[in-house]
């Protein structure tokens, strides 16, 4: 193990090691006595991107009090209504001239995408990477970039804009996009791998049931030196790790056993979008619970996605064509059902964060998650009245349960600047910000 375990103290950076594995632990009571006073709660920032905007008439809450006024699209947020804020009339001016590529690129950068089909692309450093520079250096991974799509497209993707703008939410500099990972196994290994090649670890996994088998002696030794409450926390955490790993193995087995190659779903990616999304969200819970990273981005689907959500929503038509509807009521209702499904995935995730205890609160209490899109009305490709949700408490620094709608268009950059500040990242300005969000 990376630290000596005693009955008096346990380092927050303690790892369970074995055969290419470095398993971080959740925050335990045994970690507090090593310090003169209880450590301040860890603050985390996460971002979830929903493509192609939302149908505002279905999205907009009916009351400033979310416990009374959740719309049909947002109804799944009811169990966490007091922990979220919905914003109206947020704008991304720098996303114009109004394309799918610039919507995705501007969401976290609030910057203008250079119009190019080549490799001389230029954007701006995204909010998550500014956070990673400040709060990400204290963890194994400064940031974690995840997606649902296996992106292999290159060249020009949208009105003369390079595919890189559509494929990447995170940019560590104006010229450095950070690819996102859609393979659950690869993401799992990034969280818990420690040395050795991925092939070596996979060969080992074929012989062993779980990475937990590689650290079983460390687990036994650790549990002997913990109190009853901490033992329960560790047991629940390890059970979750094992369950996530089991689901990954199940997906791998299903694709390995398939008689025909599936180019759209390589080994390790579940066939069901719902199963895949839940798995990627659960990996985020584990990443935060073990303090492997404090900054996460997740793209629910790529802009211009033609994915169909028939099994999840009953809507057979592909998502993107439905969004170009000319105001057709039937098509708008179907887009709203897709919007509601995506929000329900986010709500499930928030409920898991709320149920995961950490110190004197929960992971949701100590985190901030921004959910939204870089596009408002996708039928006309505008960037006003963006669908935006802010969830989490930032360690007691953000009240919830409100619908906040501005009379005048307000830069989304203001919200980015404010959330960075709530996470302990102090900067004077972000992109086209002109102030902070007073309501937060």
Tell me, what's the pLDDT at 63?
97
Tell me, what's the pLDDT at 262?
45
Tell me, what's the pLDDT at 159?
78
Tell me, what's the pLDDT at 313?
98
Q: In whole angstroms, what is the distance from residue 414 CA to residue 87 CA?
A: 12
Nearest to 45 by CA among 139, 110, 113, 174: 139
Nearest to 370 by CA among 333, 422, 318: 422
Q: How confident is the model at residue 210 (pLDDT cuts 50, 70, 90)?
A: confident
Predicted confidence (pLDDT) per residue in 103-160, tens digit: 999 999 999 999 999 899 999 999 999 999 999 988 999 999 999 997 655 555 777 8
Tell me, what's the pLDDT at 13?
75
Predicted confidence (pLDDT) per residue in 349-406, tens digit: 999 999 999 988 999 999 999 999 999 999 999 999 999 999 999 777 899 999 999 9
Tell me, what's the pLDDT at 422?
95
Q: In whole angstroms, what is the distance from residue 113 CA to residue 13 CA?
A: 39
> What one-character-per-residue DSSP string does 313-379 give?
HSB-S-HHHHH--TT-HHHHHHHHHHHHHHHHHHHHHHHHHHHSEETTEETTTTEEEEEE-S-S-TT
Q: Which residue has the higher pLDDT, 298 or 194?
A: 298
Q: What is the mean pLDDT of residues 413-440?
A: 96
Mean pLDDT across the chain, nearest whole number? 89
Which residues are paired to 126 by β-bridges? none
Domains detected in the chain = 1-39+191-268 (no CATH), 46-182+276-440 (3.40.720)
Which residues are paired to 161 by β-bridges? 158
pLDDT at 12 over 80: no
Nearest to 298 by CA among 44, 45, 43, 49: 49
């Amino acid at each position: 193990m990376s630290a000596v375990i005693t009955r008096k103290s346990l380092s927050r950076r303690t790892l369970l090691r074995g055969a290419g594995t470095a398993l971080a632990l959740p925050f335990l009571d045994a970690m507090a006595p090593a310090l003169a006073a209880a450590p301040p709660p860890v603050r985390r920032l996460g971002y979830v991107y929903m493509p192609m905007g939302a149908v505002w008439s279905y999205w907009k809450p009916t009351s400033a009090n979310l416990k009374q006024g959740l719309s049909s699209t947002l109804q799944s947020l009811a169990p966490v209504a007091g922990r979220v804020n919905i914003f109206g009339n947020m704008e991304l001016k720098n996303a114009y001239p109004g394309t799918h590529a610039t919507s995705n690129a501007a969401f976290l950068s609030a910057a203008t995408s250079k119009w190019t089909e080549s490799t001389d692309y230029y954007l701006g450093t995204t909010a998550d990477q500014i956070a990673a520079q400040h709060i990400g250096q204290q963890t194994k991974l400064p940031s974690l970039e995840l997606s649902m799509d296996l992106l292999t497209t290159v060249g020009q993707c949208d009105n003369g804009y390079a595919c890189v703008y559509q494929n990447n939410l995170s940019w560590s500099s104006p010229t450095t996009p950070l690819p996102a990972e859609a393979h659950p196994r690869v993401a799992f290994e990034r969280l818990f791998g420690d040395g050795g090649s991925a092939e070596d670890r996979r060969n080992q996994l074929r012989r062993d049931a779980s990475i937990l088998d590689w650290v079983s002696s460390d687990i036994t030794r650790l549990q002997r030196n913990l109190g009853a409450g901490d033992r329960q926390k560790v047991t629940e955490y390890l059970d979750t790790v094992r369950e996530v790993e089991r689901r990954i193995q199940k997906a791998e087995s299903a694709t390995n056993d398939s008689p025909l190659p599936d180019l759209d779903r390589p080994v390790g990616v579940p066939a069901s979008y719902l199963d895949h999304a839940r798995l990627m969200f659960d990996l985020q819970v584990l990443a935060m619970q073990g303090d492997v990273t404090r900054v996460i981005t997740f793209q629910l689907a790529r802009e211009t996605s033609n994915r169909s959500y028939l099994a999840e929503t009953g809507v057979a038509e592909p998502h993107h064509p439905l969004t170009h509807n000319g105001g057709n009521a039937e098509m708008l209702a179907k887009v709203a059902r897709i919007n509601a499904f995506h929000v329900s995935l986010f709500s499930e995730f928030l409920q898991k964060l709320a149920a995961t205890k950490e110190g004197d609160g929960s992971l949701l209490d100590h985190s901030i998650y921004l959910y939204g899109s870089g596009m408002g009305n996708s039928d006309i490709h505008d960037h006003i009245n963006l669908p935006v949700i802010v969830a989490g408490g930032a360690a007691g620094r953000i009240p919830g349960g409100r619908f906040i709608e501005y009379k005048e268009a307000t830069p989304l950059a203001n919200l980015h600047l404010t959330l960075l500040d709530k996470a302990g990242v102090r900067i004077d300005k972000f992109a086209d910000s002109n102030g902070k969000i007073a309501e937060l």
